[in-house]
Every structure is written in C-alpha cells, then in structure tokens.
Chain A
Amino acid sequence: MTSKSPDELSRVRYEPPPQDWLDPSVDFTARKGSWSYPGSAKSLTALGLPNPRAWSPADADWKLPENWEEIIREGFRERLGKYRSLRLFLDTCVRCGACADKCHFYIGSGDPKNMPVLRAELVRSVYRYEFTLAGRLLGALAGARPLTVDVLKEWYYYFYQCTECRRCSVFCPHGIDTAELTMLVRELLNLVGLNVNWVTEPAANCDRFGNHLGIPPHTFKENVDFLCDELQEATGVRVHPSFARKGAEFLFIVPSADYFAEPGIYTFMGYLLLFEQIGLDYTLSPYASEGGNFGLFSSHDLMKRLNAKMYAEAERLGVRSLIGGECGHMWRVINQYMGTMNGPADFLEVPVSPVTRTRFDAAASTKMVHICEFTADLLHHDKLKLDPSRNDARRVTFHDSCNPARAMGLLEEPRAVLRAACRNVFEMPENTIREQTFCCGSGAGLGNDENMEMRLRGGLPRASAVKFVRERHGVNTLACICAIDRAALSSLMEYWVPGVDVAGVHELLGNALVMAGEKPRTTDLRGRPLAPEGGGVDA
C-alpha cells in the first residue's frame, strides 16, 4: 500500500506554502504515490486517441505534439462555445472559499491547490490570459498567466486528482461544479495525449470486449456459471440467468467488477437470487457487459461511444426495457447523459415491474430502472419474504456513492432495501451522508495502485465517519451501491478502519431473501457461518 502509517498520513498541514499559487511547478518525482501512470500507447491507439507514445510524468520531456499550444487553445475556444457551464464556471467565481474544506482531497492532503476554488483557478488563470482583455493586460495582477508546459503538467497533476464527486458544488452559492471543469480540462489534456492508463485501458477494453476488465464473452459466461454453482452450494437453489436471449422482457446490465472479483461477486449473487425468486424474464449480454463508463472520465465523445452499446443491444435483442445494477458513475451517465446522447429509445417501453405492475415513470424516457428502485418497490408491496436475522452478524452503515447521491438523488431506495434486509443499520454523521457524502477517493479513474497515497488521503473523511460509527455502534459492514466503492473502500477500510467489510446492498438482500425450495442456510453468500440465533440484535 504505502509505507506511511495511518498516524503519519493523518497529520495534515494546512498552512499554505510560501510560493504564490500562480507558480505551476510540480515535482512529480517527490510526489510519487499521488499521481497515475499515463495511458499506454496501445490503449490510445485502440481508441484512436491522439499522440500515443511511451512517457512518464516523472520525465522532463512529455513528448507533446509540436503545436500543442495551438491544439489546447483551439480546443478551449471550441468548448467555450459549446458548454455554457464552462464559460459560466470560469467567469462567475467570487473566491468566497465556501468550497475549500468540502473536498476530500484537500481535507486529506492540505494541498491548497486541492481546494476546489484553486483547482478551478488553475484553468481560470489561463482562460483569463488567453481569452480576456483584462487578463492579457494585467497578467498576474488579474490572476492571469500564460499557457506553458509547466501549467499543462500542473493540470495533469491536479485534474487527475479530482474524482468528479461534486461535493463542492453542493455548497457553492453559484452552483459551480468542479466535476464539469475537470471533465472539460481532461478533454483538453486528452487532445495532446495526456491521459491516465487506468482510464484509457478500461475504456479500450470496453470498446473492444464490451467491458472494462477485458473479459471475453466465453469467460463472461463461465464467470456467471461459476457464481450460479456457488449459489447452489450456499442456498440449494439453482438460478437460471440467460445470455443474449432475444425477446426477454428486461436486459440487465451491471458493472463488470460484479462478475469478476470479490466483493462485487456477492452483490451479483444477490441479484441472481432475487430475479430467480420473482421469476423475472431477463437476460445478460456479453456485448453490453459493462454498466460503468470510463468514457465519463475521459471525454464526452468517448462516454457516448461506450454508452451507445446499451441501447444498441437492447434494440437488437428486442427487450422491453432495461434494469441497471449497483454502480455509481454508471448512474450519472444513465440519468444525466444517456437519453441526450444516445436516445430517444423509442423502441423500448417504460419499465413496469412484472410483479407489482408499478410503472417506473421517473424512467419514462430512458427506459432504464435502477435495481434499488425495482427492489424497493417489491419490498414496499410486500412481495419478498426476508429473514433479516441471517444478517445479524453484520452491523451495517450505508455509504452514499457520490453520483447516485449528487447526480440523481437515489437516497431512500437503497436504504429501504437495506433496512428490510438487516436489523442493525446505523447512519454515519449527517455531514458525511446523502448529498453531503464523501467520496471513496478513488473514483473518476484514479483507483490505481501507484496513486495509493493520494487515494488513502482522499478517503480519510469517509474513513473517519466509518470509524465514528464503528466505535459508537460496533459497525463492521460498510454497505454501498457502487462497484468502484466496493473495490476502493475495501483497501481504504483495511488501512484506516480495519475490521470493516464492504458489501453491496443486494448482497445483504441475497443473504436475507427466503427462496422457494432453499435448504436451511448455515452460511451467508460469502460462505461465512451465520450469527447464532438471537445473537447480535440491539433491543
């Protein structure tokens, strides 16, 4: 992980450095552990992105194209005309500082350029110099500075040190959203070949294979079959998912981590049990086998490209509507971009629950319903039999994932499922949940190992809140509805709050769900023995 101890890492200095923030120099060698490796030439070539080459941020020469200044300037100009958000967010900040201590990376690192206001000033200063008269004439006095290689390097460092979580935008009196600026600056960086491999490689995989992890179709089927065997062992019930079956009622799409590795696979097992129990007519597709979208972390065009497969496959298979699994940024794309980019999905119908006949009108245009909405509706109509005592060994708290919370507002649905499935649920402090939730520190393509120190720093606020409920209520399980969370929070807990497992909401539902024809359950879906009867419940 990192050689630094939690004690050392949590001693953060907040005093600003002596040099002015307009100074762009970043010592990449000294700051190893807080940046990501660049996109490989192979992945850039596969995606047709500019300037594929071998390079490292620690090198002096980043091998930029000769006319890089012109490319950035023109790209900037083009986007100023296309996105009101960009121009507005660059023009209207008053530097009131309300956002400063709202960023998990600032709280965990003390680096003033991680204050959202200064992160934005890094690009605002260039905007002023290149595109406004006052900036051109007054220079540093107006907070303006020219575009230089060092500025570009600084952008690379700090805009790949923002997880696009949007917490700062909740507090901004002008509604400035740093995630929007980060997305657009990353687009500019991409134009000259400055990417992060943890974004470009999954994106290239997704483009070719259908999922970020590069799992080919036969392995996809093998993985799912394997999980069906595991389920049979745990529950005595054989589940029957189908693959690319034409005419199914629903196409079900999950983030690929859910059928690849722990702990996501247990969430996937929960979905399978649920669908078997209610007899849902659904199918999985190896072509559209990715719910997540790393295009979101690269450019709007790449996002559209990867997202297009969902509707294309739904149309090819002739399904009626779509259900999506537990994933964070996937739902930002579905809620705020999919219909606009790849709609209208006129060939689909508004999703209707075949069990309760509830019409999901909130998804009337995109025709895609979130699994938590779907399950919460089943539970509200009392259509599932649950034995929550099977989760009694778990003392659970719920982590709102950034995007479902701040780009959708999916707050009560997962809680409804969780409270039905578990008897010991405790909320973290109110400044750290719901729309004020803290990021895991590893989203937006930054969840790689080489960036571990910065991930742990960024994860400190989340970990601190978990530690609080662990000490107060003995919490041992952190439930969430995001695949990146399931992976990232596991490492985060191991480092900051040992003894806390990370679980998907549908894993816990799967534990509690009473299946027709099941054998007496002695273990949970992870194969761990259940709590002894009557134990582990608060009066």
Chain B
Amino acid sequence: MVSWARSPVPFRIPTTCGQQRSLPWIRSARFDNPSTGAGAAVRVFLEVVAFRSLFRNTRADLKPGGRIVYGSDKLLWAGALAFHASLLAILLRHARFLFEPVPAFVSAIQSVDGFLSVGVPGLYASDVVFVAAASYLLGRRLLDPRLRYLSLPADFLPLFLLLGIAASGLLLRHGVRSDLVSLKAFVLSLLEFRPRIPAAVAPLVALHLLLVSSLAALLPFSKLMHLAAPFLSPTRNLPNDSRARRHVNPWNPEVKVHTYAEWEDDFRDKLKAAGLPLEKESP
C-alpha cells in the first residue's frame, strides 16, 4: 500500500462524471466533477461509504434487431454495500474480545445490532445480512456464466473463508455453547505477548480462529487490499482543475520537437509561393 501511495501521479486524470465548472451560469457537478480538493474529498468519501460509482450500475440487454435496452441494476450495489457494512459491524462487535473493559461504542453497536430480539442469545441483524450478502456475491460468481468465466480461484477463496468463519461463529453463538470468558482471557494474553494457553479449546473455537488467521494471512497478498483503491485512484481523488492550475509531473521528460525553424526550412519555397509569412527569407 505504501508503494502505491509513494508512486508518482504524473498526470491529472480524473474521470469526470458530470458538468465541469466553466461559466458562472452553468451549474457544475461539484462532487462528480469536482473543481476543488474539497469536492474531490467528498467524491472519495461518497465512493467509500456509499459505493457511488457502483450505484450507477446498469444492465445492457441486446434485443433482436440491434435494439439495446438498459435497465437499472442496483442489486450488485446493494449486495456489495450490505456485505461490507455488515462485515464492519461484525468486526467492531468482536472488539469486545480485545478490550477489558468493553468500550461503550462496542456495547452500543451490539445493542443496536440485536434489535431483532429473536432467540436467546439474540440474533444479530449484521450476521443475517452478512450471510445473505456473501451468499449472493458467491452465487452470482457461480451462476452468471460471464462472471464464472472471469473469476479466479482468488475470488472464491476469501468468500469461502468468510462464509466458513460466519458459519462457525454463528454455531458458536447459537449452537454449541463455549467458554467465552476463558477465550477472552486467552486473546488478551496473546495481545500482551504472554500467551496463556487455556487447558482445553473447543474444536469449533479452534476452527473459527484458524479460518480468521488464514484470512488475515491472505490479506496482504490478495485482492483484499482493494480497500485502498478509492482513496488513491487518480481517476477519483483529484479535482478536474488542470486547466486552471498546473499539475506538475515530477519526471516530465524532454522530448524532441520538430521546431518551427526546422519546419520553415522544410517548406520555405511553398510558403513563399503561397504568400505565407516567413521568419527568414532563406535558410
């Protein structure tokens, strides 16, 4: 990620998705075609929290006779957003295993998330949403022939891992009861680098932790690093202002240009005959 952030951005290449700022009486698209750094920051923010580009998603269908029909296709947007938001909620909830005492915001998330009040212990909404969204994302990769064709094993692996983690986690909460107090003591001791191995670990707990560690180990090598993209992409994080303010390329190379003088030498007779002005009458 550091190497991305460090590498130069030689040109200002935002993808403009709306009216530019040009004349005062034409309303410009402040966020989709930002002319200021603040506008670009809002654009990135909307991209990160609301997946704004994905929200535009359409579906093109070619009908007989070459007619193409475009339908709105927000399911991918909804699925992706639900997937990421519920994952975030679940991660934050798990912070209760990492801190003693449990921070207030974690308890707050926990109580909001448990609003369904179904079952004992209460079923978390984020768990339901997560499993549904992840299954949808996996399902479209498997069922849509186009997506199946372009998907790599690396696209399936994290989804399988995440679903495995979710399944084992759900079982731990709602199925097999396990000793969470000693588990937390173990995790806290790990964080202090003085691990106190508990006498016995339930196999399901071990599986849950194993899957989580595998996912964590995959992080730096896989597409899971995509979270940095909207922040760093020069098509999104730069204002479209390079006509108003010069953007500097740190390695702007010298190039050989066919100069006016050379050009006039090439065409002097023709220029003269056509009555076009010359800098020099002869070479």
The chain A residues found within 8 Å of chain B, CB to CB, are 6-7, 9-12, 14-16, 21, 48, 80-85, 87-89, 91-98, 100-102, 107, 112, 115, 117-118, 121, 133-134, 141-143, 166, 169-177, 180, 207-208, 210, 216-218, 221-222, 243-246, 286-287, 300-302, 304-305, 308-309, 312-313, 316, 334-337, 339-341, 343-344, 358, 360-366, 368, 373, 376-377, 380, 405-413, 416, 429, 431-432, 434-436, 460-461, 463-465, 467-468, 496
B261 CB to nearest A CB, Å = 9
Asked if B88 is at the interface (CB within 8 A of a chain A CB), the reply is: no
A362 CA / B18 CA spacing, docked (Å): 15
Note all chain A residues with C-beta closer than 8 A to B16.
405-409, 435
Asked if B76 is at the interface (CB within 8 A of a chain A CB), the reply is: yes
A432 CA / B60 CA spacing, docked (Å): 11
Q: How large is the interface on B (under 10, 10 to 19, 20 to 34, 35 or more residues)?
A: 35 or more
Which residue on chain B has the smallest CB distance to residue A125? B152
The chain B residues found within 8 Å of chain A, CB to CB, are 3-5, 7-13, 15-23, 25-26, 28-29, 32-33, 35, 47, 51, 53-54, 56-60, 62, 64-68, 70, 76, 80, 140, 144-155, 221, 223, 225-226, 228-230, 232-237, 240, 242-249, 251-253, 255-260, 263-264, 266-267, 270-271, 273-277, 279
**B153 touching A141, Cβ below 8 Å:** yes
Question: Knowing that A171-B56, A363-B243 are A-B contacts, what are 14 other residue pairs whose CB atoms are under 8 Å apart, sorted by A's residue number?
Answer: A10-B62, A14-B146, A16-B145, A84-B8, A92-B223, A95-B150, A171-B57, A305-B258, A309-B258, A340-B246, A365-B242, A409-B16, A412-B19, A435-B17
A101 CB to nearest B CB, Å = 4
Which residue on chain A has the smallest CB distance to residue B137? A96
Given A10-B62, A407-B15, CB of A309 within 8 Å of CB of B257: yes
Q: How many A-B residue pairs have CB under 8 A?
A: 316
B80 CB to nearest A CB, Å = 7
Note all chain B residues with C-beta closer than 8 A to A302.
255
Note all chain B residues with C-beta closer than 8 A to A364.
243-245
Contact of B54 among A98, A431, A434 (CB under 8 A): A98
The B interface is mostly helix, strand or loop, or mixed, namely: loop
Note all chain B residues with C-beta closer than 8 A to A406.
15-17
**A340 touching B252, Cβ below 8 Å:** yes
A76 CA / B7 CA spacing, docked (Å): 14
**A173 touching B51, Cβ below 8 Å:** yes
11 examples of A-B residue contacts, CB within 8 angstroms: A9-B66, A177-B13, A217-B274, A221-B275, A305-B257, A339-B243, A362-B21, A362-B22, A363-B243, A373-B22, A429-B70
**B15 touching A169, Cβ below 8 Å:** yes
**A460 touching B233, Cβ below 8 Å:** no
Which residue on chain A has the smallest CB distance to residue B22? A362
A341 CA / B76 CA spacing, docked (Å): 40
**B228 touching A92, Cβ below 8 Å:** yes
**A177 touching B246, Cβ below 8 Å:** no
**B56 touching A170, Cβ below 8 Å:** yes
**A340 touching B12, Cβ below 8 Å:** yes
Which 7 A-B pairs rank lowest in CB-CB distance, beginning with the nearest? A409-B20, A10-B66, A175-B233, A218-B274, A174-B229, A16-B149, A92-B229
Note all chain B residues with C-beta closer than 8 A to A102.
58, 60
Note all chain A residues with C-beta closer than 8 A to B228.
92
A89 CA / B232 CA spacing, docked (Å): 10
Given A210-B263, A313-B260, CB of A305 within 8 Å of CB of B234: no
A403 CA / B7 CA spacing, docked (Å): 26
Note all chain A residues with C-beta closer than 8 A to B229.
88, 92, 174-176
